[in-house]
Each structure stands twice: as C-alpha cells, then as structure tokens.
Amino acid sequence: MAGAKAQTTTNFRERLAQRTQHGDSIFWAVTLFFALAVIALVVAIGWVTWNDSALARERFGIGFFASSEWNPVETEVSPESFGAVPAIVGTLISSLIALILAAPIAVGIGIFLAELCPLSLRTPLSFMVELLAAIPSVIYGVWGVMVFAPFFTQHVAMPLSESMREIIPWLSSSQVAAGRGLLIAGIILAIMILPTIAAITRDVLTLVPNTQREVLLALGATKWEVIWLAVVPYARAGIVGGVMLGLGRALGETMAATMLVGNRPQVPGSLLEPATTAAALIASELINAQSLLHESALVLIALTLFVITLLLNLIARLLIWFVNRGPVGSVRA
Amino acid sequence: MEETTQGSSRLLNGFAETVSPAGERVAQTATEAKIEAIGFNFYYGTFQALRNINIRIPQNRVTAIIGPSGCGKSTFLRAINRMHDRTPGARGEGQLLLGGANIYGEIDPVKLRRRVGMVFQRPNPFVKSIYENVAYGLRVQGVRDRRVIDEKVELALNRAALWDEVKDRLHKASGTALSGGQQQRLCIARAIAVDPEVVLMDEPCSALDPIATMKIEDLIHKLRANFTIVIVTHNMQQAMRVSDMTAFMLMDSATRAGELIEFSPTAELFTNPKDQRTKDYVTGRFG
C-alpha cells in the first residue's frame, strides 16, 4: 500500500519533470523572437527609407544635406530641386526651444511631486501630469491655433519683433503677423513634452533609496541640500533619460508642429516667421507629392530624421554613461 | 582602580533607578543625562509604535537597545534625531530631551541632526573619494577652510581607526571601493567628522563579517570618550561587549506598541535582570 503510493508519487514527479524539461528553452526562444523583432523593425524602416529615397539620393547626392532649395513645382526658370537644410534646421531649433523651456520646469515639477508635495496633493497632481501626457497632439495643435497663437502673436511676438528689430534680427520679422513660426511651435512642443519629462523625473526620484536621503539628513543637511546633493545626483541618469525621451518626442512630433510651424520650406531668418520641420514637411506634402522625385526627396527627409533621432539617442546613452561614472579610480559598488 | 569601577557602577545604577516598569521616575541623580525621555510616545498615523518611554541615557557612555524584532528599538533610535520626519503621519509626543531641550518642539531638526549623528545598518558611503566622503558633512555645514577640513578629516579617520589603511589613497580611491568593514568605519568617520554630541548606530554590524564586527566594536568602545553613543543591536553578545548601559524593549502583545521593560547597567541586565521578561529574553527563551 505504502509502496504503491510511493510509486505513484515517483511517477508523477517523473512525468512533471518530463513535461517541463523544455520549458526554459521554449520561453527563451519566444522572448528572443520578440527581441529580434524589434531589431528587424528598425532594420526594415532603415531599408524602406533607404530604398524609396534612391531617386533623390542619385539626383542630389550628398549635396541634398547642404541645399536649402525646396522647389517641388517645375517651371521653365526654376527646375525641380530639393534640399534638407530647412527641415533639419527647423527640426533642431524647434526641439531645442522646447527642451530649453520644458526641461527645467519639468524637472522642478518632478522634484516637487516626489520630494516636497504633501501626500494629499501628490496623487491628484500626478494624475493631472499623466493626463497631460495622454492628450492627443492634435488637441494641443487646435489649442495652439485657436487660443495660444493669436494671444502670443498679439501680446508677445509683435512687441518683441518691434523692439528687437535693430538689436537681435532673429527675434524680429516682417511676417510676425502670420502667427506661425519656430518659436511658437517650440513653445507648444515644450508644453507637450513637459508632462513626459516630469512624470519620468518623479518616477526615478521615488526609486532613489531612502538611505541616500537619510545619510545626508543625518549630517545636518536641509531639504534643499538633500535634494540637490543626494537625490538628484543619484537619479541623474534617469532624469537625463527622461529629458532625452522628451527630446525624442519633440523631434518627431508631427501634428502640432504642422499646425503651428507655418509650413514654409525655407530656412527662416527669424524665429518669428513661418518655417518647417522634417515631420511637418513630410506630413504636409507627401499626400499630394507632385512627382516621383518629390516623393523620394520626402522619404529621404524621413531617413534623415530617423538618423538624427538615432544619433541623439546615442549621444544620450553616452551622456548617461558619462554622468554615471564615479570619481577617478573608483569601482562602483 | 577598584574604586573607580565601583563609582562608575554606582553612577550607572543611579540612571537605572529612574526607570520602573510603571514608568514612574523613582529617583533623580545629580549627573546630567544626555538624552532623556519622559513619558515619550510615538505614532505612525493612528498606530502607536512606542508607549510611555522613560529613559535617561548617560553622557559619554555606550547605551545599547536590545529586544526582539518589532519592539520599537529602531523607532526610538530614529526618533532621537527625527529621522521619521519624512514619514507622513509619524509624530512624537511627550518629552524627549537632548541636553534638557525638547527634540520635538524646541530644537530645529537641521540643528538637531548636526548634534546627533547617525550610522546606518548598511554601509552607505557616497560614490566619491574617501576624503570627500568624510569632508561632505563639513562642507554641508558650511566649512570652507581647506586646512580645517584637512585636519578634521584626518582626526575623524584616526578616531574611526581607518587612517592608516587609507591615508595613501585618500583622494584616489572611492569610498565604495573599500571593503564592507572599512566602508562602515568610513561612515562612522563621516558621522563624527562634524563633531556631534551623540552618535546613533542602527545595527551597524549586521551586514559585516565577524572580524570587521570586532573592529567596529573596539572602535565603539573608544569613541565613548568623545561621544555619547546609542546603539541598536540584535546581537546580545554585542550589547554585552560594547555597552555600559542596556535597555530592553518589548512589543506589547495586545496593542503592538513598543515599551521599555528594563534599563540597567549592562552587566546587571544580563546577569541579574529584574524583570522576568528580560530574563526570558537574555537567556534565549524567546525572541
């Protein structure tokens, strides 16, 4: 009786062992497949944009990235001609404006939410920040066009343009009344990326171990010192990561940029006159491209934006690696 | 020699007499207590973590707090330099005095923590050079003079018995590159570099091997010449080895609040405990 029972137990154990012997390798293969799918996707995007831009690459070569010409309509005096400079300049400047405006404020919001906010306010405020991140960009665009652009043009851009005419030419323009340009697009982009950076900053700060705060607190540090000497340095890699994610969103943001940047494919002489960004240019022109060459040039712009994004991510990685190093000769425990 | 020992023992007994299970203050000694709790209660929100703590911790002595997990010994230790301030809903009531001034009320928390340093359970040096680790507290407190900092860093590392081991690589090596025991001594040096009056230690050896533990215990013994030391430990042998006074705490089984059961000179608490529960604990019958 007892022997029989022992026998069934052994059988059960053996069967279970048999049934699960390949479990880990199957799991490994499945996750490997998903991981490789990501790489395949990146390669596929690169491949498609590379192939579909062949016409433009052959026609303009490396000169594409040095030319500010953008003339999709062939006439007798001016032939069809495309260059990437307006799109690259517009993309970089509008994203830079967004980053400069949003990063300090967003990090401040994150610090407040994680370190200083009374508990009763933390949940509702965090919720609002996340809600802000979830609003579709077209709504920001609509708000920008209907509310912000008229207000900004009337009360800020026009007086600014007037007073800066002789002093800083790139803050002054005769086309300021159009209410479109890199500055206004940059400000809207800043509002859009603010919640992303703030939410990530808050999350990485709450992950900082309490001992980091306590050790400084026990040395007689104030809240200010605890935050700036212990908490933020510990989390700086994550904060830089959040800022870079925000930058990525600003670079690729299409809808709001298209609605507010003015869609004029020229290098603007001023932040206050209509310009374009890479994403806005593609979105506004691809559907009614005039010719195969035009379409191919737009795909080449897409490839350029893709490469810029990759490069900036690479720089961000290097930056994180760099700030994460300890003092010279140290081994990080 | 004999006479001094007796005198010191009598003095310590005087401290012990001020505590009784009922929490009444039985006797007063002429000597000043460095830290004194009178009917001190501590709450986390609505939960009472400490009830009616009465204790007089003597100056320039090592006082150990022992007791089973959850008895509130760490809560009490951390109440002394208001480490709970960051915890929402945590608050102290009653009197907890540092040199006669109430910690909860009269003393500014930042100033309080400059007088009451702390060493934590796990060694937690900054990812900075050894020198900067020790100098950090001084810099936070606004010391700028390079010579003063140099002197204080050397003094603190000497007192922490670490100077000889690290003097050649003060600026070159990171604090995190040291061994666990060295890291903990570095943390002690960091805490004492700012000349606190009291050093709190929250199970400072629990993450260390026996040899490193021995070094820290030696160090604690020497440090009491300059500092008042309060140490929480799970290890009764350690309490016997390092402390002059021992407090035994226990969680009340009905309310789950921590209470002080007995506070006596260490030798007396371990060999001749007054309370049956202390006796059960130190003889290993529970906990």
Min CA distance, B55 vs chain A (Å)?
23
By DSSP bridging, strand B90-98 and strand A81-82 are unpaired
Contact list, B117 vs chain A (CB under 8 Å): 218-219
CA distance A328 to chain B (A): 7
Q: Specify the 3-state DSSP secondary structure of A94.
A: helix
Q: Which two tokens stand for residue A44?
A: 């596929």
Return the bridge partners of B230, or none.
B63, B200
Residue A144, pLDDT > 80, answer: yes
Which residue of A119, A215, A229 is in closest CB contact with B124?
A215
Contact A298, A282 (CB under 8 A): yes
- The answer regarding whether domain A85-279 maps to CATH 1.10.1660.10 reads no
Q: Residue A280: pLDDT above 90?
A: yes
Contact A41, A34 (CB under 8 A): no
Rounded average pLDDT over A111-129: 91
CB contact under 8 A, B140 and A221: yes
Q: Please state, in angstroms and rounded to a whole number, the distance separating the CA atoms of residues B212 and A19.
A: 49
> How much is the average pLDDT of B63-69?
93
pLDDT (mean) for B32-43: 91
Q: Where are the alpha helices (DSSP H) in chain B?
A: 2-17, 73-80, 109-115, 130-140, 146-159, 163-166, 180-192, 210-223, 236-242, 266-271, 276-282
Ramachandran assignment for A262, one of left (phi > 0), alpha (psi -120 to 50 degrees), beta (any other) = left
Closest chain A CA to residue B199: A218
B63: helix, strand or coil: strand
Average pLDDT, chain B: 86
A-chain residues near B127 (CB < 8 A): 326-327, 330, 332-333
Are the Cβ atoms of A330 and B122 closer than 8 angstroms? no
pTM: 0.79
Specify which residues A262 forms β-bridges with: A275
Between A328 and B208, the higher pLDDT residue? B208
The token duo for B265 is: 């000179």
Percent pLDDT > 90 in chain B is 59
> Could you tell me which residue, A73 or B151, shows the higher pLDDT?
B151
- Cβ of residue A325 closer than 8 Å to a chain B Cβ: no
Rounded Cα distance, B247 and B60, in Å:
16
Inform me whether the C-beta atom of residue A14 falls under 8 Å from chain B C-beta atoms: no
Task: Label residue B15 by pLDDT band (50, 70, 90).
Answer: low
Q: Which CATH number fits domain B2-282: 3.30.70.2860, 3.40.50.2000, 3.40.50.1100, 3.40.50.300?
A: 3.40.50.300
- Provide the 3-class DSSP secondary structure of residue A192: helix
Give the side-chain half-sphere CA count within 13 A for A203: 14
A328 touches chain B (CB under 8 A): yes
Mean pLDDT value across chain A: 88
pLDDT score recorded for residue A210: 87
Which is nearest to B35 in space by CA: B283, B263, B278, B221?
A: B263
**Partner-chain residue, chosen from A119, A219, A332, that has the shortest CB–CB distance to B137:** A219
Extents of the domains making up chain A: 85-279
Of B118, B122, B176, the CB nearest to A218: B118
Model confidence band, residue A324 (pLDDT cutoffs 50, 70, 90): low
HSE-CB for A134 with a 13 A CA cutoff: 6
Q: Does A232 touch chain B (CB under 8 A)?
A: no
Q: What is the pLDDT of residue A288?
A: 86
Q: How many helices (H) and strands (E) does chain B have?
A: 11, 10
Using the Cβ of A214 and the Cβ atoms of chain B, whether some distance falls under 8 Å is answered with yes
Q: A224 and chain B: CB distance < 8 Å anywhere?
A: no
Chain A interface mutation, best of B133, B139, B176, highest count of A Cβ atoms under 10 Å: B176
pLDDT tens-digit map of A189-233: 999 999 999 999 999 999 998 888 899 999 889 889 999 988 998
User: What one-character-per-residue DSSP string does A48-67 give?
Assistant: HHHHHTHHHHHHHGGGGGT-
**pLDDT one-digit tens code per residue, B144-164:** 899 999 999 999 999 998 999
How many whole angstroms separate alpha carbon A51 and alpha carbon A179?
38
Query: Mind listing the pLDDT tens digit for each residue in A148-173?
Result: 999 999 999 988 888 888 888 888 88
List residues bridging with B64 in a β-sheet.
Answer: B231, B246
Beta bridge mates, B273: none
Alpha helices, DSSP H only, in chain A? 2-19, 23-52, 54-60, 85-111, 119-134, 137-143, 149-152, 158-164, 182-206, 210-217, 223-225, 232-252, 255-261, 278-285, 292-324
Q: Which residue has the tokens 């407090």?
A: B247
Distance from chain centroid for Cα A206: 23
Pairwise CA distance, residues B9 & A98, whole Å? 71
Which of A217, A227, A228 best tests the B interface by mutation, with the highest count of B CBs <10 A?
A217
pLDDT at B31: 55
Does residue A31 surpass a pLDDT of 80? Answer: yes
Cross-chain residue pair B127–A326, CB shorter than 8 Å: yes
* Number of neighbouring beta carbons within 10 Å of residue B277: 18
- Nearest alpha-carbon partner for A290 in A94, A79, A130: A79
Q: Who's near B198: CB < 8 A, 6+ residues apart? A: B34, B35, B80, B81, B98, B115, B116, B117, B227, B228, B229, B230
Q: How far apart are CA B16 and CA B33, in angstroms?
A: 11
Going by C-alpha positions, the residue among A262, A144, A120, A155 that lies closest to residue A192 is A144
- Tokens (6 digits) for B109: 């928390």
pLDDT for res B11: 54
> Can you tell me the distance from the alpha carbon of A189 to that of A271, in angstroms, rounded to the nearest whole number?
14
Which position has the token pair 């040395």? A219
Amino acid at B91: R
**Amino acid at the residue B179:** S
Decide if A120 touches B, using CB distance below 8 A: no
ipTM of model: 0.79
- Residue A173: CB atoms within 10 A of its CB come to 23
Return the bridge partners of B264, or none. B246
pLDDT at B29: 42
Nearest 5°: phi and psi at B157?
-70, -35
